[in-house]
Amino acid sequence: MSKAYLGIDIGSISTKGVIIDGKNEIIAKEYLWTEGNPVYAVKRLIKLLESQIDTDKHKVVSVGTTGSARKLIGVITDASVVKNEITAHAIGTLSIYPNVRTIFEIGGQDSKIILIENGVVVDYAMNSLCAAGTGAFLSSQAHRLGVEVEDFGKIALTSKKPTQIAARCTVFAESDLVHKAQIGHKKEDIIAGLCQAVVSNYLNNVGKGKKIISPVIFQGGVSKNQGVKKAFEDTIGHEVIVDPDGHLTGALGVAIIAKKSGIERDFDFNIADIDFITKGVECSKCSNNCEIICVYKEDELIDAWGNKCDKGAIRIHVKA
C-alpha cells in the first residue's frame, strides 16, 4: 500500500481539498462551498475525496490544513501541519511552475500577492478589508445585473468599450454600476468595466508598490473569470497564466508540506461521521475578556484557543 497525503484549504467562501501521492501527483481533488459551516464542509469534502481513491491501494498518513479556518480543521483532522495561506500557495505553485516570480490570488473575500525569487518568497501582501476586488463582490454584482457569475468572463470578452466603474470600494462601485446602467451603458460593457475595476482595485491596494515580474500566475476562484484575466494582461503588459487546478494550489501546497514534515499517523476517513462542536467561552478573569474557542469531539474537549494570557487557559473539561 502506498502512502498518500491530504491537504485542505478551508476558506470563508470555498473549501478545497486534494490527496497526493509520494510524487506530489494529485490522485483526488474536490472544491465545494463552505456555506458558513467549515466543519460540515470538511466532513463533506472528506467523504467526496474518499470516494475518488482506492483505499486498499492508498493510505493517507499525513494531513495539512491552511486557510482562514485552518486551526479548527487542523484540530478536527489531527493535522500534522497547519500553515498560513502565503506559504501554502507558494509551495503549491512552485511545485507546478518552478520559475514563477509573481502570484496573484483573488478569493471569495480576500486577495493576496506573493513575490518569489529563486524559489523563495521575498515579499507578499494581503487585503481582507475591502471587498471590491474579490469574488464575493463579482458575485453580488452578477446578481444585480441578472447574470450568472460563471458567465461574467465570456460576456466581458464581447465588450468593445468597457464602462469605467469606480473601483475605490464596494459602495462606490455599486453606486456607479447602477448609475451607468440607468443612463444606458450596455450590459457587456458594464461587466467588462467591473472586471477592470477588480484589477485596478487589486493593483492599487494589494499590489501597491510591488514590482510585478513575469512569469505571473493567477489563482483563486476569480482566476476562472476570463474577463479579469484579460484585464490583468492588458494592464500589466504580461501574459497571465491560469492553471486548470489553480483554485486548488493552497490545498496542494499544504499537502506537500505535510508530506515533507515527516510527521505520519494514519488518517481515518470515518471522522466525517463524528460529531464536532465548537463553542465560544468568554473569559472574565482579566481585562482582556478573551473569547476562547473550544472544540469538542462528541462532548469531549479536544482543544481550545483564543486566550491572551495563562488565566484563560482551559485545562479541564468544559461541557459543550
| pLDDT tens-digit map of 130-147 | 655 677 777 778 878 888
Structural domains present in the chain: 2-91+250-273 (3.30.420.40), 99-242 (3.30.420.40), 276-312 (no CATH)
Give the pLDDT confidence of 46-96 residue by residue, as tens digits.
999 999 999 899 999 999 999 989 999 999 999 999 999 999 999 999 999
Is 109 or 296 the better-scoring residue by pLDDT? 296
| pTM of the complete model | 0.85
User: From CA 269, how far away is CA 267, in angstroms rounded?
Assistant: 6
pLDDT tier at 316, thresholds 50, 70, 90 = very low
At position 179, the amino acid (one-letter code) is H
Nearest of 83, 114, 10 to residue 261 by alpha carbon: 83
- CA neighbours within 13 Å on the CB side: how many for 242? 18
Helix or strand run (H / E) with residue 8: strand 2-10
User: From CA 70, how far away is CA 35, in angstroms rounded?
Assistant: 16
User: From CA 40, how far away is CA 150, in angstroms rounded?
Assistant: 25
User: From CA 180, how far away is CA 186, in angstroms rounded?
Assistant: 9
Is 102 in contact with 67 (CB distance < 8 Å)? no
CA angle at 104 for the pair 103 and 105, rounded to the nearest 5°: 115
Residue 171 pLDDT greater than 70, yes or no: no
User: Residue 52 carries which DSSP code?
Assistant: T
Place of cell 501527483: 25
pLDDT of residue 131: 56
Calculate the average pLDDT of the chain: 88
pLDDT of residue 142: 80
Cα 53 versus chain centre, distance: 24
CA distances from 85 to 252, 272, 293, 316, 318 (A): 11, 24, 21, 32, 32
pLDDT of residue 320: 46
User: From CA 227, how far away is CA 213, in angstroms rounded?
Assistant: 21
Which residues, listed in sequence order, are joined to residue 66 by a DSSP beta bridge?
A: 9
Q: Is 284 exposed, middle or buried (0-12, 13-18, 19+ CB in 10 A)?
A: exposed
Q: Which of 113-117, 269-273, 300-304 ranks highest by mean pLDDT?
A: 113-117
Give the pLDDT confidence of 246-271 residue by residue, as tens digits.
889 999 999 999 999 999 999 999 99
Reduced to 3 states (helix: H, G, I; strand: E, B; else coil), residue 67 is: coil
CA distances from 9 to 20, 33, 157, 234 (A): 14, 12, 31, 30
The per-residue DSSP string of 190-212 comes to HHHHHHHHHHHHHHHHTTTT---
